Amino acid sequence: MIQKNINLQSFNTFNINAVAGMYANITDEKQLIELSDTKEWNDNPIFVLGGGSNLLFQNAPKGLTIHVDVDGIEIIDETDDYVLVKAGAGVVWNDLVEYALKNNLGGIENLILIPGKCGAAPMQNIGAYGVELESVFDSLSCFLINEKRFRQFDKDECQFGYRDSVFKNKLKGEAIITSITLRLTKKHELNTSYGAIQSKLEEFGIISPTIQDVAKAVKEIRQSKLPNPAVTPNAGSFFKNPIVDNSVVSKIQEQHPQVPVYKIDNSNTKIPAGWLIEQCGWKGRTVDGIGTWKHQALVIVNNGTENGKKIVEFARKIQSDVFNKFGIKLEPEVNIIG
């Protein structure tokens, strides 16, 4: 079950050369129970790998790399209003979205084309175009590494926040997600107010959109702005959109009245990180084979390096410029390993 010295370059969308000293591919939950009794498990740190679409190897992972590849999509409950759909952690996220669209199940149409696998979705509470995973989340199953047992987590126990969950904080490195269950709708409430969705629907000549129409609009918008990782190695949005105090926004508006803002509550506002990066002159800029995407400054692209440390250095230069210009510290959305 355990393999030695496996190159993970094909398992990460940044295309970074990183060799796992010990590697195990998990296609069935039972394999985790067997693996947890081995010396390799008990004597080494555990690194969990999914689709590799939201990480950057600065160094090779230490210890035993667990590649979660549990497959399968199934309906486990159904009412007149909703359906509970369970997906293995190894299911490609976009395949789940396409499954929902094919079966006219709503709630995740705005999340089409987000790269990665289902197991990573709750870890960072994936979101796009006004929708976050927590809005449809029901529960998940995971294997607790130290306790060597399976446990269910409901929505509240996951402690979801903006690109955040208990699995990135208190339980970081302590749980292996094996499946997720979502509550998808039969009677849909569409979210078309974010970004250019509504204008794209109008461009299509659609007045009463379906979930399929919304997905088509989001798909076209994403494809026009974001690079395909299979062609141009990247991990999507590299930084989180910062949420700042309204006083910070007011100060920025004095010099940049056109700054796009999204109100969170009476005290806090979200500012697009891509806009901040672009104002610092980084959009489309390339340094030593590493750059920001020409259509979206929030995406860092790899144009040839196999060294993750160089990408980290590039990202830090962007962080420094944004902080010096706006007083805002950008936080990576990408998980930096090593």
Q: Is 333 a catalytic residue?
A: yes
Dist. CA 197–CA 4, nearest whole Å: 47
DSSP 7-20: E-GGGSTT----EE
Nearest-angstrom CA–CA distance, 182 and 134: 9
Catalytic residue selected from 109, 135, 163, 183: 163
Q: Is 285 a catalytic residue?
A: no
Residue 53 near residue 120, CB atoms below 8 Å: yes
What 3-state class would DSSP assign to 196? Answer: coil
Could you tell me if 267 and 247 are in contact, meaning their C-beta atoms sit under 8 angstroms apart? no
**Which phi and psi (to 5°) does residue 93 adopt?**
-55, -45
268 token code pair: 């806090």
Q: Active-site residue 163, yes or no?
A: yes
- Which candidate, 230, 242, 240, places its Cα nearest to that of 301? 230
The 3-state DSSP class for residue 107 equals coil
Residue type, 313: E
What whole-number distance in Å separates Cα of residue 240 and Cα of residue 283? 16
Name the active-site residue from 135, 139, 165, 237. 237
User: How far apart are alpha carbons 26 and 143 in whole angstroms?
Assistant: 12
**Rounded Cα–Cα distance for residues 113 and 16 (Å):** 22
CA distance 318 to 148: 41
**How many Cα atoms occupy the beta-carbon half-sphere of 313 within 13 Å?**
10
Q: Where in the sequence numbering do the catalytic residues fall?
A: 163, 237, 333
